[in-house]
Amino acid sequence: MRYVIIGNSAAAVGAIEAIRQHDTEHPITVVADEPYHVYSRPLISYLLGGMVDEARMAYRPRDFYTRYRVETMLGVEVTQVNSQTQSLMLAGGGVLTYDRLLIATGGRPFVPPVPGVDLEGVFPFTRLDDARQIARYIERHHVRSAVVVGGGLIGLKTAEALMARAVRVTIVELADRILSMTFDRTASRLAESLLRRAGADVRTGLTVKEIVERQGRVEHVVLQDGERVECDLVVFAIGVRPNVGLVSNAGIPVQRGIIVDRQMWTGVPGIYAAGDCVEGYDLLLGENRPIAIWPNAYRQGYVAGCNMAGAERVYEGGFPMNSVEVCGVPTISVGITDPPEGDGYEVLERYDREALSYRRLVLRDHCLVGMICVGNVDRAGIYTGLIRARVNVAPFKDYLLAGHFGLISLPREYRKHLVVGEGIEV
């Protein structure tokens, strides 16, 4: 039995740790195009902004591969998956065979085909090398202004990192507001006011039509409405799409992402998939779709690893979960945060403009299905637990937004499920 994993991020780590819980003998090989020890991708904006150094980027200790007896082929690209011969073609002509394969190729950055996108000074921002190259470019060319294309979570963290380096930032977002996939309008307006207060310019309902050069480097961009925005740097931080190009001719079913069942099996003998490249089960919507967040990738990889090693495990499902600071103000969003009007949804809100505090809870069928916390994020963990457990909140709905709401407000049986141990009674 030989296990092979394509990719070296959260899903791969989950799979490795699961396999070794159930199989301590057979070899595991990780092959990945990046040449680095597994690192925490969510930290790349903090690295660019100087809040962390590269020593703190590691997602697992330096002896991780040795301790789990993993052979690594880092900096090696897989060019083809042949499910008939159970083999992988490698760049340069090598071949790697497998008995159980996990595809954990993650997401690829979306960069639209804008004229000038290949100019010097234009970057995506999803990998460690992106952060390194942007930092070097800023220093080498004394960058003072930048355009960040994308007003989602990646775009905002990119903007904050650049502002931490004393770069003036203009955020350009195609939607009519920033964080439109994560927040409702009130939370989006609050986040935008925080960015403007910190010195960022925010343009919504627009996109970059053209990137214009001077002596081969970025000089300015032209927006959709014809406005010219001077800049020395352009970063595309629109988001990622499932990286499925590798499996296009392997007989593996693909829609938006790789299609998998609740055991993370692709339906092709011996081949599993996990992480941002798949359509995983959404616990709240009851359907499969891509959810590109780190904790889900790890859990999916763990479930895949168990099943690869013969220990049956079912992926219970995930849902969107994001925790990020916007200009020093903590925010958390979970689940369905901006539902369509009607359709059985109920929304509870509390907004303190002076305190920069906003809380929104979304209910359906007497269950909490989503939340937004801006500023005061206390009890966000309790709300998330209620969402995951599908608890009927009707008996204590009126207390959900109360200042004293906490564990003691929850049903006794649910409290016992959360807090157990000798001498503990809640």
Report which residue type is found at 95: V
pLDDT by residue (tens digit) across 185-230?
Answer: 999 999 999 999 999 999 999 999 999 999 889 999 999 999 999 9
pLDDT by residue (tens digit) across 230-247?
Answer: 999 999 999 899 999 898
pLDDT score of 335 more than 60: yes
* pLDDT value, residue 409: 60
Query: Which helix (H) or strand (E) element contains residue 70?
Result: strand 70-74
pLDDT score of 424 more than 60: no
pLDDT score of 416 more than 90: no
Residue 260 · residue 273 · CB < 8 Å: yes
Q: What band does 353 get if pLDDT is binned at 50, 70 and 90? A: confident
36-62 average pLDDT score: 94
Give the CB-side neighbour count of residue 388, counting CA atoms within 13 A: 16
For the record, the structure tokens of 340 come out as 């369509």
Q: Which residues contact 45 (CB under 8 A, 6 or more apart)?
A: 125, 131, 154, 157, 158, 160, 161
> Whole-number mean pLDDT of the chain?
92
Residue 274 · residue 14 · CB < 8 Å: yes
SS3 39: strand
Q: What band does 418 get if pLDDT is binned at 50, 70 and 90? A: low
Q: Which residues contact 397 (CB under 8 A, 6 or more apart)?
A: 348, 363, 366
- Residue 60 buriedness (CB in 10 A; 0-12 / 13-18 / 19+): middle
For the record, the structure tokens of 28 come out as 């595991």
How far apart, in whole angstroms, are the C-alpha atoms of residue 89 and residue 83? 11
pLDDT by residue (tens digit) across 83-120?
Answer: 999 999 999 889 999 999 999 999 999 999 999 999 99
* pLDDT value, residue 355: 83
Task: Return left, alpha or beta for 257; rule: phi > 0 is left, psi -120 to 50 is alpha, else beta.
Answer: beta
Query: Which helix (H) or strand (E) element contains residue 214?
Result: strand 208-214
All domains of the chain in start order, with CATH: 3-108+242-308 (3.50.50.60), 122-238 (3.50.50.60), 328-418 (3.30.390.30)
* pLDDT value, residue 349: 95
SS3 323: strand
* pLDDT value, residue 238: 93
Q: What band does 405 get if pLDDT is binned at 50, 70 and 90? A: confident
* pLDDT value, residue 415: 58
Q: Which residues contact 271 (CB under 8 A, 6 or more apart)?
A: 81, 83, 101, 103, 250, 252, 265
Residue 276 · residue 290 · CB < 8 Å: yes
309-313 average pLDDT score: 96
SS3 231: coil
pLDDT by residue (tens digit) across 153-194?
Answer: 999 999 999 999 999 999 999 999 999 999 999 999 999 999
